């Protein structure tokens, strides 16, 4: 069986490739753990000077595995959940992070991009933040980071309506650097990561730190608040209806719910 997260170090670039195309690269607990291990390695291994994150040519990442949402795997009390560890690490990793996106990037598939330093996308990219459609709330501090980049009204549109948007719109919004042909997305992101890997490492990492440090505490606080609401909503009848609807391939019916 091939690895669901392919991890490979070459020329100072640690590649983390999401590789579960039959389930549209939806992330399971194990996959979050492996992505977390990769990000931890990025910061502890001096041979890593940049990180490249990409998916499969047809799909970047369909978000959290919805089956895991319906039947959450048990957690050891006091232990950080792999998803929370991944989000903590992607928001704090010292090494520069370059992403290449083709195909769908849904939920955390989009919110993780807000933590990347450079993002390239192909015309096939379809980003989407359907948390509300699933009876959930956004995560990854995206309720802080997205309005900071795109403004309140556009963030509200993307979160509350949850419609997909393409790479051109993502560039216009400021969450993707450039659109390149699909077949060149990974090589463009890799070439950029190699360029970063060849630069003075302390200067690169200090600059990344300075770009983020003004909001680092606010990001951690927002993530904690989102995680609390997310866990509560995940146990709600609203999410139960939305997740059952996805499994049964029918539209959800929220008409019976009152807040």
Residue from 66, 132, 225, 245 touching ligand COA (CB under 6 A): that is: 66
Residue nearest to ligand COA (CB): 107
Element (H, E) at 7: strand 5-10
Determine, following the binding rule CB under 6 A, whether residue 132 of this chain makes contact with ligand COA: no
Structure tokens at 240: 């139960």
Contact 208, 94 (CB under 8 A): yes
| Stretch of 56-64, 91-99, 186-194, 209-217 contacting ligand COA, by CB under 6 A | 56-64
- Binding pattern for the stretch 26-45 against ligand COA, x by CB under 6 A and - elsewhere: x-------------------
Residue from 24, 49, 54, 85 touching ligand COA (CB under 6 A): that is: 24
Residue from 34, 102, 104, 142 touching ligand COA (CB under 6 A): that is: 104
Determine, following the binding rule CB under 6 A, whether residue 23 of this chain makes contact with ligand COA: yes
Total interface residues for ligand COA by CB under 6 A: 15
Three-state DSSP state, 120? strand
Q: Which residues of this chain interact with ligand COA, rule CB under 6 A?
A: 23-24, 26, 62-67, 104, 106-107, 130-131, 134
């Amino acid at each position: 069986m091939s690895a669901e997260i392919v991890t490979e170090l070459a020329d100072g670039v640690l590649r983390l490739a999401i590789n579960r195309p039959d389930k549209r690269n939806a992330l399971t607990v194990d996959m979050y753990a492996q992505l977390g291990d990769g990000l931890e390695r990025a910061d502890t291994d001096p041979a890593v000077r940049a990180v490249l994150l990409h998916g499969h040519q047809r799909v970047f990442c369909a978000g959290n595995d919805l089956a895991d949402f319906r039947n959450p795997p048990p957690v050891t009390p006091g232990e950080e959940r792999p998803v929370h560890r991944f989000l903590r690490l992607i928001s704090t990793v010292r090494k520069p992070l370059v992403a290449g996106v083709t195909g769908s990037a849904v939920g955390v598939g989009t919110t993780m991009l807000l933590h990347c330093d450079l993002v390239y996308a192909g015309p096939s990219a379809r980003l989407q933040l359907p948390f509300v459609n699933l009876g959930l709330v956004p995560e990854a501090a995206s309720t802080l980071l997205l309005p900071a980049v795109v403004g309140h009204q556009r963030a509200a549109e993307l979160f509350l309506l949850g419609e997909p948007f393409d790479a051109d719109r993502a560039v216009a919004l400021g969450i993707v650097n450039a659109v390149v042909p699909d077949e060149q997305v990974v090589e463009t992101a890799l070439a950029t990561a190699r360029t970063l890997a060849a630069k003075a490492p302390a200067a690169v990492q200090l600059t990344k730190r300075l770009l983020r440090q003004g909001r680092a505490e606010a990001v951690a606080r927002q993530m904690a608040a989102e995680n609390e609401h997310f866990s509560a909503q995940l146990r709600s009848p609203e999410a139960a209806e939305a997740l059952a609807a996805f499994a049964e391939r029918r539209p959800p019916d929220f008409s019976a719910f009152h807040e």
